[in-house]
Amino acid sequence: MPVVKEYTSEKPGFANQVDYLRVTYDFAADTGATGTYDLMIASSRMLIVHAHLTVKTACTSGGSATVAYGVTGSASKFMNATQGAVASLTANATIVPPAVEGTPNVLPFPYLMALNDKLLMTVATAALTAGKIEFVIGYIKP
């Protein structure tokens, strides 16, 4: 499983304050082959309270590539293949997880990641041929 090479963490000033992790997928460094990419492996339990992604460079594909954003056990927790269709991954696009309509409406937060769970990006249907995406999560270490 490929591992994305670039990530940064913005440390909070106090315990129990939200910390933000930014992971950048870059086709030039990480390739665009179909499959699952490890964005991050949890070094301890993490309570995710926010997630979004911003497309820094438009994603392209020779086919109909899709990108999903999720976690171990739920690869599309934060963005499914329909939301992540290559046509939606245009420069400067920002995608946030939607509420799933129902009774009651369901949000993907908060979500508790266990030790060694992974934050994942899955490329499916066709390979990406270009693109750069910044994935962001806000979390608290319980």
Which pLDDT does position 2 carry in this prediction? 59
Looking at residue 112, what is its pLDDT?
94
Give the span between the Cα atoms of 79 and 82, in whole angstroms: 8
pLDDT along the chain (142 residues), means of 10: 58 74 94 94 91 96 94 92 92 87 74 94 96 95 82
Assigned CATH for 6-98+108-140: 2.60.120
Q: What is the pLDDT of residue 136?
A: 95
Query: What is the rounded CA–CA span in Å between residue 4 and residue 24?
Result: 7
Tokens read off for 108:
């993907």
Category of 40 on φ-ψ map: left (φ > 0), alpha (ψ -120 to 50) or beta: beta
- Write out the DSSP string of 7-47: EEEE--SSTTS-EEEEEEEEHHHH---SEEEEEEE-SS-EE
Query: What global pTM score does this model have?
Result: 0.87
Q: What is the pLDDT of residue 3?
A: 61
* Domain ranges across the chain: 6-98+108-140
Q: What angle do CA 84, 89, 91 make, to 5 degrees?
A: 160
Q: Which two tokens stand for residue 36?
A: 């699952």
What pLDDT is recorded for position 62?
92
Burial class (CB in 10 A: 0-12, 13-18, 19+), 21: buried
Q: How high is the pLDDT of residue 117?
A: 95
pLDDT of res. 17: 87
